[in-house]
Amino acid sequence: MFGYMIKRFAYSIFTLFVIITITFFLMHAIPGNVYNSEKNLPPAIVENIRAKYGLDKPLSEQYFTMLKNTLKLDFGISMKNRGRPVNDIITEHFPHSARLGIFSITLCLFIGIPLGILSALKKDKWQDRLAMIIATLGVSVPGFVVAVLTQYLLGVKLKWFPVIGDKTIYHLILPAIALSFLPISFIARLVRSSMVEVLEQDYIRTARAKGLSERVVIYKHALKNSIMPVVTYLGPLIAGVLTGSFVIESIFNIPGLGRYFVTSISNRDYTVTMGVTIFYAVFLVLMNFAVDVLYTVLDPRIKLKN
């Protein structure tokens, strides 16, 4: 286990390095610059800006400077929001994304899994059909449609929930619905298909033959065996949802990280793009590691070996 951790850590560092490198060069390959949007800047000012952010140096030099600073966990200063360190942007805006994310993931698990179980137990009956129609809608209707629809119906028409912002848990309900509709549907389908398969296994018949109640058979014996695909999906899902969704955050006017990320790309705000990418990548790597550890907890046949 310890050897595995070390090895895994080394791989993670390498993965991060590759992500950083590719992002850096792709970012600089996009035409345009951070001062593009300003009209007719005199060449002297352009030169000044370039010198200030080190953009006048050769790309390779910029790259190594960036690597060195990254090692020190210093992502530099935003080029667009003058004077704001990227670290500050992340610490200020990530909590907004994280709050919404945690709320959404809770919804995903507590609605998606039971929905999948219900479908599997009522296979081919109307409950299953209904759940699967909803799930199919969920995976095919884009999040922003769900967002606008819920805003209109539950917010404007019925006035049940506030339409914008994220001040209270109450504010988070609509964006969380919009953000989790797709993963809920996906999880429900995953659970349904693996549960249907597991319920036909011999050990389920054994469990019933032992006289266990249906509740124990389903929630102990069947569920632990059918939860694996969900765990696999959960790693990237948590990383993605916690770090924010640009579209949902824009629609609901939530000052999360996702919005910053996307605007930083169109603004060519190199430092912000880089910083948020690294942050996201670290998150993803950590989550994937957590998933691997969770596998061994759930299924004793899986061993972490180097």
Partner 1 sequence: MKNNLLEINNLYTTFRTYAGKVYALNNVSFSIGKGEAVGVVGESGSGKSVTMLSIMRLLAENGFVESGSIIFDNKNLSELTDKQMQDLRGNEIGMIFQDPMTSLNPVFTIGNQLVESIVKHTKLNRSEAKQKAVELLKMVGIPSPEKRLKQYPHEFSGGMRQRVMIAMALSCEPKLLIADEPTTALDVTIQAQIIELMKDLKEKLNMSIILITHDLGLVADICEKVVVMYGGTIVEQGTTEDIFYNPQHPYTKGLLKCIPRMNMGRERLKPIEGQPPDMINPPKGCPFVERCSSAMKICELQKPIYTEIKKGHGAACWLHEAGSKGV
Residues that bind partner 1 (CB under 8 A): 201-203, 205-214, 216, 220-221, 224-225, 298-301
Report yes or no: 197 and 229 within 8 Å, Cβ to Cβ.
no
Nearest to 268 by CA among 64, 28, 77, 69: 28
What is the longest distance spanned by two Cα atoms in the chain?
A: 85
Smaller CB distance to partner 1: residue 163 or 231? 231
Smaller CB distance to partner 1: residue 119 or 225? 225
Beta strands in the chain (DSSP E): none
Report residue 258 as tokens. 């996702």
Minimum Å gap between C-beta 233 and partner 1 is 19
Report yes or no: 189 and 116 within 8 Å, Cβ to Cβ.
yes
Minimum Å gap between C-beta 195 and partner 1 is 14
Minimum Å gap between C-beta 124 and partner 1 is 10
Nearest to 155 by CA among 256, 258, 257, 253: 253
Report yes or no: 268 and 34 within 8 Å, Cβ to Cβ.
yes
Report residue 135 as tokens. 């799930």
Minimum Å gap between C-beta 221 and partner 1 is 5
Smaller CB distance to partner 1: residue 82 or 301? 301
SS3 77: strand
Smaller CB distance to partner 1: residue 185 or 225? 225
Smaller CB distance to partner 1: residue 43 or 300? 300
Nearest to 233 by CA among 93, 139, 95, 96: 139
Smaller CB distance to partner 1: residue 30 or 298? 298
Minimum Å gap between C-beta 231 and partner 1 is 12
Minimum Å gap between C-beta 204 and partner 1 is 8
Residue 173 CB contacts under 8 Å (≥ 6 apart), including other chains: 161
